[in-house]
A = this chain, B = another copy of it.
Amino acid sequence: MHSPEIDRLIQYLGRLPGLGPRSARRAALHLLKRRDSLLGPLADALAEAAEAVRTCSVCGNLDTRDPCSVCADPGRDAAVLCVVEEVGDLWALERTGSFKGRYHVLGGTLSALEGVGPEDLNIAGLLNRARRPEVTEVILALNATVEGQTTAHYVTDRLAECDVTVSRLAHGVPVGGELGYLDDGTLTAALKARRPF
């Protein structure tokens, strides 16, 4: 019923996370009604990103430069590597503005079910970086999921050969969180790790 151009637009929009077939149609309509203010600029922004954005060969971040702006920043502490699963986690940590070291993106987690082994993740690259004399600490900022923690244990074992301290993010009550809604595991962890007031 639609022209093939509109159909194709709806189809590709529907492959974005968070947009189903219905919301993809709504998004397409929204775009078509705003040709100059949104449709054109979004097309340009996508084309530009497709052209310019690449994966950092050092840490795996996405940026228009390689090494990325974090790796290339001489003001960042080269002694601390923060290991994350995905670029989105790196972005989340950068938004806090509270980490001044460098990152290392693994590119996922180990998963026997999905057939992801150590060689599928950027673990060799991490070991190479961790062996450098200037690196003294590796922070494992992996998701607090079964897969994330399995991967953290594996990476810790592999890092034993390097002369670095390995740490992980603290578990506890999320800031603003209500105890009644928290799971038992989080509450137990928060109790165990209690701090003087």
Contacts and interface: CB of A to CB of B under 8 A. Distances in A.
Contacts of A6: 49, 53, 62-64
Number of identical monomers bound together in the oligomeric complex: 2
Q: Taking chain A's interface residues, is the majority helix, strand, or loop, or is none over half, making it mixed?
A: helix
Nearest to A43: B46
Interface in A34-86: 35, 38-43, 45-50, 52-53, 62-65, 69, 86
Interface string A12-30: 1101111100010111111
A87 interface: yes
18 contacts: A1-B94, A2-B63, A5-B45, A8-B45, A8-B48, A9-B48, A13-B16, A16-B30, A18-B26, A19-B27, A25-B91, A26-B88, A29-B87, A29-B88, A32-B62, A32-B87, A39-B46, A42-B46
